[in-house]
Amino acid sequence: MKYALIDVETTGLDPKTNAIWQIAMILVDGPILGAPIVREFRPYKDSVLDPKALEVCGISKNYLDRLPLTSVDVAWEFVSIIKKFRGAMGERVHFVAYNSSFDYQFVREWYNRHHIHAFAGQFYWPSIDVAGMASLKVDPKTRPRRFRLQEACGCFDIAFDTKAAHDAQYDIEKTYELFKKVMPK
């Protein structure tokens, strides 16, 4: 099976008005693990920038404005990467993320915004949610009330640096570690 583990950092919580500005992806084909693919880029024009979201990521509007890559260029690059990964048979890829509905909706809207109609042909639905998988493996009596990525990692003895969190590359690497622990054999 082929998996694309994806994490996005965004300018807010609404995929219709906010935008992705950082994306990280790890491609997994059975036992073969690819290196993380990470891009930072300017959000699409007219996207809403929520000051709280920028603060959480430790960035500013000025930082985003200075990024050299554009949203549309990175979107098409990711389409191309996934297309190659799918191979000659064009098999779909499992979209995997921590709280996958968030990332899935943002990536789907990102494709739509740039008139890329490949999303449904590239990824299986539903997405695979590592948060849900991890939650099922934790005793409800000891499960933390909040179950963010850092708490889930703690439940599985995965070291987590809260200062490095909210960076798509760091988060996807931790998601992959967690995915390996909770994925049925």
Confidence of residue 52 (pLDDT cuts 50, 70, 90): very high
Mean predicted lDDT score pLDDT of the chain:
95
Structure tokens given for 114: 């740039």
What integer is the mean pLDDT of 99-122? 96
Spell out the CATH class of 2-129.
alpha beta
Does the global pTM surpass 0.85?
yes
Domain boundaries, the chain: 2-129
Q: How far apart, in whole angstroms, are the C-alpha atoms of residue 74 and residue 89? A: 24
Asked whether the predicted pLDDT for residue 180 surpasses 80, the reply is yes
Identity (one letter) of the amino acid at 87? G
Asked whether the predicted pLDDT for residue 37 surpasses 80, the reply is yes
pLDDT value for 83 = 94
